Amino acid sequence: MTNPLERRRFLQISAAGGAAVAMAGIAHGQEAATQANKKNAGQQRKGKLPFRISLAEWSLHRTLRSGKLDNLDFAKTAKEEFKINAVEYVNQFFKDKAEDKNYLGELKLRHDDFGVKCPLIMIDGEGALGDPDDAKRTAAVENHYKWVEAAKFLGCHSIRVNAQSNNDYEEAKKLAADGLRRLSEFGAKHDINIIVENHGGLSSNGKWLAETISSVGLDNCGTLPDFGNFHDYDRYQGVTETMPFAKSVSAKSHDFDAEGNETKTDYTKMMKIVLDAGYHSWVGIEYEGSKLDEYAGIKATKKLLMKVRREFAEA
């Protein structure tokens, strides 16, 4: 094996119109995206797992904030504690490191040493991409550039962003689409997807989010459907509406019954929606409960996902 310092140095250096027209466009975009997903999956799924399991760093946010776990050790913890080979970072836990190639190089080195992939980084706190003020919207777009570049360095396929705007359905759609389009154009230069999670406000309305992504009209702009962030909106409908544009999926969990089922989400029903959309990639565990500690909650969520995965593999 090469000298660790030399290896570290190498890795570091390597580094919208009328409503009727809009609705027709949305429907066409959803159908086209879904059919493309199914075509790509096709017969290639024979003998393969229906989906893969990753771990969202937010599942350990209390442990990280307490200082009991360092961001640099997240990949090691995912692999050794949970036997999970892919992690989804949250920028809050290395907020000032997006342009620090030494830090990112060390982070990448840890992934390589443990054989852990990094599909995406979840980005918060960089401004509203749908801000009504053009200067603030532009600043928000540009604030995300460094995270696109960091994601590229770490080998990610996406950054997860939010689509904050005002509360006017149509205006917010246009404003958010403008910010997302501009950021996606930058992301495309780095082969990075810009994906939106249902994360409060109008983004937790599946119809609005699907319409917004469709109006952006770029292949690298998509969604990250979260099972539990639809609030007053039906979660199964919301996932159905946003799955045609999905480039990742978040398996939100809070509590479990005596049989190990999540008490708010029917995982079998939800994963059928996911798989029926032709999606077979990463499903990220995001435990947010309080009855179980974070480690136990992650393990319970993984156990449930593996049970559901076996059911679909044997079907």
Q: Which residues pair with 11 in a beta bridge?
A: none
- One-letter amino acid at 170 equals E
pLDDT at 231: 86
Number of domains the chain contains:
1
Sheet architecture: strand order including 193-197: 221-224, 193-197, 158-161, 117-122, 86-90, 52-56, 282-287, 249-253
* From 3-7, 71-75, 92-96, 289-293, the region with the lowest mean pLDDT: 3-7
The enclosing domain of 138 has a CATH number of 3.20.20.150
Token pair of 142, please?
């540009």
Burial 250-281 (b: 16+ CB within 10 A, else e): bbbbbebeeeebbeebebeebbbbbbebbbbb
pLDDT at 32: 55
What distance, in Å, lies between the first and last C-alpha atoms of the chain?
Answer: 45
pLDDT at 35: 54
Between CA 245 and CA 203 the distance in angstroms is 14
pLDDT at 31: 60
Domain extent, residue 27, equals: 4-314
Reported as a single tens digit per residue, the pLDDT across 11-63 is: 444 444 444 444 445 555 556 555 555 444 443 445 589 999 999 999 999 99
Number of residues in the chain = 315
Q: The pTM is what?
A: 0.86
Between CA 280 and CA 221 the distance in angstroms is 18
CB 285 within 8 A of CB 253: yes
φ, ψ of residue 57 in degrees (nearest 5): -65, -25
Reported as a single tens digit per residue, the pLDDT across 97-130 is: 999 999 999 999 999 999 999 999 999 999 999 9
Residue 227 has pLDDT above 70, yes or no: yes
